[in-house]
Amino acid sequence: MKNLARAHWAAAALAIVVAAPCVAAPSRAVIVDIENASAQQVEAWRHAPGVESWVELGREMLLVGDTARIAQATGLGLAMRDIGAYRIDDLVLHLRGCAVDVTPDDLLVHTGGRYDLLVRPDAARLATLTHAEAEGLDEWIDVTPGMVVARQYRFDRPVALPADERITPLVARVDPARWFSDVETLAGWSRSTFSTELVSARQWIAARFASLGLEVSEPAFTFTYQGTRTANNVMGVVRGLQRPDDWVIVGGHYDSRQQDIMNPANAPGADDNASGCSAVLELARLFTRARPAATMIFMCYAGEEQNLFGSKAHVQALTAAGDLGKVKLVATLDMIGWSSSTNLSADLDTLSPFVATRNRFADAALTYVPGLTPVVSTIACCSDHIPYAQAGIPAVLSIHGNWQSYVHYHRTTDTPANLGVHAQSIGGAIMRMNVATVAGEAGPMDRIFDAGLETGE
Ligand SMILES: [Zn+2]
């Protein structure tokens, strides 16, 4: 959560104050929807007459410049959404879902995807920020010309790679209905870190792992959050038949929160993150039956909402045991249960050293889940992949697209019913992408075409 480079916004804000404006026609900033654009169109719009600078934001693009000229040159016209008279360095970026969610309303100029665009506060406004707002400044990112914050993967991979016949049958066995029933079970407990019901959820997850034949443990860890606290991860291990010292981790947090993070009650967390923890259970069910070549570790973490404490504890334990180097891949699932429409999309985030690994997930989507549109980014924050990635382990987060539009996020209304009619479609799609990618690392499977996998449901 706190991994982002400290933005040098304060110095830049001062520079703006002292620099005299020298451009006759004021620059304006516009947002263009590029969800259905071609790569060629996006490239042409970036360099259209009148464009001073551009920033790619996944399903949207920010253009700054002489907007009348841009409109004329591109024919975009009303498709350009004017957000104000800004130059590029007037703006900063904040990733939604980071540790601090207090963004001053008067500074917010655009909300799109996971990314809020804010106008830099001047010295006078800085002085009046509340303490909570000022805490969020650490997470602001400078907006620079030509920045690709997130990108639709299809632009760079217009043709999918061929499918692997050893992986297709496993992908086909993902059961979204079964997954949704687990989401309902978990959402039946208020899984706040401060709720006694979290223990019930933990015991249920452990029992599910045990019923699948996994080696189960519930390692405790302590952390500081308004006092010293203890919580438990739930871990299930299946030993690899051929490469036991190659480890693949599949994880997602099982704790939850409501708006008031200290209130233990009414935190059903269906999307965040019963959906991801239930996906861990579903992948555990599939992979234990298939008997993978590599060792697989299935993790449901606690303490995520207070700052990734469960995954940090796991990384510390791996490091202390000298096992970190065995971990070849970490697949993190957080918020996979909601879609605004039948257009299914997934954001795939990692840190920049692990772009190739991240792209394996995106390739898996194109090959095995053609209905799922991957959007890739290296501006990563906010979930349990971060501690692993920061420790040098390839770790990739899957999260559904457009999640800023899920109005129940961190609310008492994050219930299974409010996941809506597309829940099983998006959850199923994101699980299939993860199954295909993880199978590529943990395979080959011993029983993929075996009758045991076919009939042992
Ligand atoms: Zn979460």
Q: How confident is the model at residue 381 (pLDDT cuts 50, 70, 90)?
A: confident
Give the Å distance between the CA of 292 and the centre of ligand 1: 28
The Cα–Cα gap between 258 and 247 comes to 34
- In this prediction, residues 445-452 reach a mean pLDDT of 73
What's the pLDDT score for residue 4? 35
> What average pLDDT does the chain have?
90
Number of Cβ within a 10 Å radius of residue 342: 10
- Residue 446 is assigned to a structural domain of this protein: yes
pLDDT at 8 over 50: no
Give the Å distance between the CA of 257 and the centre of ligand 1: 9
- In this prediction, residues 437-446 reach a mean pLDDT of 94
- The alpha-helical segments, DSSP class H, found in 118-175 are 123-127, 131-136, 168-172
Whether 65 and 185 map to the same domain: the answer is no
Domain end (from 120, 150, 180): 150
Give the Å distance between the CA of 262 and the centre of ligand 1: 16
Give the Å distance between the CA of 12 and the centre of ligand 1: 33
Give the Å distance between the CA of 308 and the centre of ligand 1: 9
- In this prediction, residues 89-95 reach a mean pLDDT of 89
Whether 206 and 187 map to the same domain: the answer is yes
pLDDT in tens, 228-274: 999 999 999 999 999 999 999 999 999 999 988 899 999 999 999 99
Q: Which residues contact 417 (CB under 8 A, 6 or more apart)?
A: none
Whether 248 and 283 map to the same domain: the answer is yes
Q: What pTM does this model have?
A: 0.90
Q: How confident is the model at residue 98 (pLDDT cuts 50, 70, 90)?
A: low
What's the pLDDT score for residue 131? 81
Whether 139 and 190 map to the same domain: the answer is no
Whether 110 and 169 map to the same domain: the answer is no
Counting the structural domains of the chain, the total is 2
Among 18-32, 109-123, 284-298, 341-355, the least confident range: 18-32
- Residue 297 is assigned to a structural domain of this protein: yes
Whether 169 and 81 map to the same domain: the answer is no
Give the Å distance between the CA of 335 and the centre of ligand 1: 6
Give the Å distance between the CA of 204 and the centre of ligand 1: 19
Give the Å distance between the CA of 98 and the centre of ligand 1: 10
Alpha-carbon distances, residue 137 vs 10, 106, 150, 313, 387 (angstroms): 9, 15, 21, 27, 22
- Residue 417 is assigned to a structural domain of this protein: yes
Give the Å distance between the CA of 226 and the centre of ligand 1: 20
pLDDT at 174 over 50: yes
Whether 222 and 323 map to the same domain: the answer is yes
Q: How confident is the model at residue 332 (pLDDT cuts 50, 70, 90)?
A: very high
Give the Å distance between the CA of 272 and the centre of ligand 1: 5
- In this prediction, residues 207-211 reach a mean pLDDT of 98
Domain end (from 95, 126, 150): 150
Closest CA to 45 of 65, 26, 73: 73
Which domain range does residue 268 map to?
A: 157-455
Whether 181 and 146 map to the same domain: the answer is no
Domain end (from 116, 134, 150): 150
Give the Å distance between the CA of 300 and the centre of ligand 1: 12
pLDDT in tens, 128-157: 888 878 877 778 889 999 999 999 999 999
- Residue 406 is assigned to a structural domain of this protein: yes
Closest CA to 434 of 339, 332, 352, 349: 332
DSSP class of residue 274?
A: I
pLDDT at 189 over 70: yes
Give the Å distance between the CA of 54 and the centre of ligand 1: 31
What's the pLDDT score for residue 100? 56
Whether 77 and 182 map to the same domain: the answer is no
Give the Å distance between the CA of 411 and the centre of ligand 1: 12
Whether 337 and 441 map to the same domain: the answer is yes
- In this prediction, residues 377-405 reach a mean pLDDT of 91
